[in-house]
Amino acid sequence: MHTQRSSVKKYLAILIGCLFISAISFAQAQGDTALPPKDTATRLVQPVKPKKDSAVRKVVTVPKKVDSIGRAKDSARIAAGRDLVRKDTIRRDTVRRDTAAIFRVTAAQLKAIEAFQQVLKGHPYYNFFGRPMVITGNEWHRKDEDDLFYFLAGLLFYFALIKVFFSKYVDNIMTLFFRVTMRQQQIRDQLLQTPLASLLLNILFVVNGGVFLGFVAKRYGIAPTDNDWLLRGYCSALLIAIYLGKFILLKITGWVFNVSHATDTYIFVVFLVNKMIGIFLLPVLVLMAFPYPPLYTVVLTLAYIMLALFLVYRFIISYKPIRNEIKVSRLHFFLYLCAFEIAPLLLIYKVLLIFVERSH
């Protein structure tokens, strides 16, 4: 009996020991599952393998400190940015207030100006606020044409005075030139009785012809000088030399061959046409002095055509009176025109070309 009780106690003690050992093993297993994984701890801080629970707790608390420092820095940056924005706003308000005080404009007007500036900044064709560009160019010098304007105005006033004081003379010239009547000799005699008006109109022809030839010379680059007024003076002197030489030659010819009446008639016709050319050139000179570039060539071409018609008309109206005075054939008259009218002009043109080629 006693032996059986002692065996039962022994079995109970073994059973209790097994249960105790099992409970300890279960508790240790639960504690191991509560720890964080090794790779997580390594990823958070440093690749150091923790050995104790205290080290694991320290590893867990390190990211909190780093996060708090980063937040503190971000908050400092935000505060600094807000401070800058506040200072910039204060500065803009101060500038606006000072601008409004200086120029006495309202806030609405300042906003309108700023809006307009924004529009200019964003405009695709006007680079007002972009980088400046350096553009080189030649200095433009304005050509002063005031003296030419007053000179042409003076020519018009000069002709107006002739028209006012010698109106009958001008009317007789127009009548004789455009409507040759049976009273031709009578009108011619009336014209010869007014030498002053004839002289004034001859001066008008010389001046207008010189200015016209000066424009033509500048147009084709055959000017012997760069001074425009000197060039016009040369052209006027050339016309004086041509017609004075023709006058002297015709007078000598008429005296030598005893045909003074015929030569006087021809001289009268020549200077009559010259007077009409001088009047005709007045509007042409105005158009050439201040031209509209596309029409300049048209005006010059029309002037050439009209001058050629004037010369042909002069030959036509001078042939009949001369034929009545002298028995001359058309062939002889044509040879005279070629020798004394056309050949001198061609010779002068050739001399000018040679002079310009040598000067350049």
CA distance 353 to 359: 10
Q: Within this chain, do residues 214 and 99 fall inside the same structural domain, yes or no?
A: no
**What pLDDT is recorded for position 45?**
41
Contacts of 210 (CB under 8 A, 6+ apart): 232, 233, 234, 235, 236, 237, 238, 239
Residue 249 lies in a domain: yes
Residue 74 lies in a domain: yes
Q: Within this chain, do residues 271 and 162 fall inside the same structural domain, yes or no?
A: yes
CA distance 197 to 164: 11
- State the SS3 of 220-253: HCCCCCCCHHHHHHHHHHHHHHHHHHHHHHHHHH
Structural domain tally of the chain? 3
Q: How many other CB atoms are there within 10 angstroms of residue 15's CB atom?
A: 10
Size of the chain, expressed as the number of residues it contains: 360
What DSSP assignment string belongs to 95-153?
HHHHHHHHHT--HHHHHHHHHHHHHHHT-SS--SSS-------PPP-PPP-HHHHHHHH
Per-residue pLDDT of the chain (360 residues; tens, 9 = 90+): 555 556 666 666 677 766 666 666 555 555 444 444 444 444 434 444 444 444 444 444 444 444 556 566 667 777 766 766 666 666 666 666 665 555 555 667 777 877 887 777 777 777 776 777 777 777 777 777 789 999 999 999 999 999 999 998 898 888 888 765 544 666 777 777 888 999 999 999 999 999 999 999 888 877 778 888 998 999 899 899 988 988 998 889 888 878 888 888 888 888 999 999 999 999 999 999 888 888 888 999 999 999 999 988 888 887 777 777 677 677 777 777 777 677 776 776 676 677 666 666
CA distance 271 to 246: 11
Q: Distance from CA of residue 202 to its chain's centroid?
A: 43
Largest alpha-carbon pair distance within the chain? 204
Copy the structure tokens of residue 165.
């004081």
What is the model's pTM? Answer: 0.58
Contacts of 219 (CB under 8 A, 6+ apart): 300
**What pLDDT is recorded for position 28?**
52
Q: Within this chain, do residues 14 and 160 fall inside the same structural domain, yes or no?
A: no
Residue 39 lies in a domain: no
Residue 149 lies in a domain: no
Q: Within this chain, do residues 30 and 109 fall inside the same structural domain, yes or no?
A: no
Q: How many other CB atoms are there within 10 angstroms of residue 18's CB atom?
A: 10
Residue 306 lies in a domain: yes
Distance (Å) of CA 300 to CA 45, 99, 281, 325, 341: 98, 60, 11, 38, 22
CA distance 321 to 315: 11
Residue 185 lies in a domain: yes
CA distance 62 to 212: 104
Q: Within this chain, do residues 90 and 188 fall inside the same structural domain, yes or no?
A: no
Residue 100 lies in a domain: yes
Q: Within this chain, do residues 66 and 164 fall inside the same structural domain, yes or no?
A: no
CA distance 212 to 77: 83
The domain of 311 spans: 155-359
Q: Within this chain, do residues 112 and 238 fall inside the same structural domain, yes or no?
A: no
CA distance 145 to 67: 84
Q: Within this chain, do residues 11 and 72 fall inside the same structural domain, yes or no?
A: no
**What pLDDT is recorded for position 64?**
47
Strand (E) or helix (H) holding 351: helix 343-359
Contacts of 194 (CB under 8 A, 6+ apart): 166, 169
Contacts of 239 (CB under 8 A, 6+ apart): 205, 206, 209, 210, 213
CA distance 40 to 241: 119
Last residue of a domain, one of 121, 144, 178: 121
Q: Within this chain, do residues 21 and 87 fall inside the same structural domain, yes or no?
A: no
Last residue of a domain, one of 69, 100, 121: 121
Q: Within this chain, do residues 241 and 108 fall inside the same structural domain, yes or no?
A: no
Q: How many other CB atoms are there within 10 angstroms of residue 252's CB atom?
A: 11
Q: Within this chain, do residues 117 and 16 fall inside the same structural domain, yes or no?
A: no
Q: Within this chain, do residues 107 and 20 fall inside the same structural domain, yes or no?
A: no
Last residue of a domain, one of 69, 103, 121: 121
CA distance 210 to 240: 9
Residue 138 lies in a domain: no
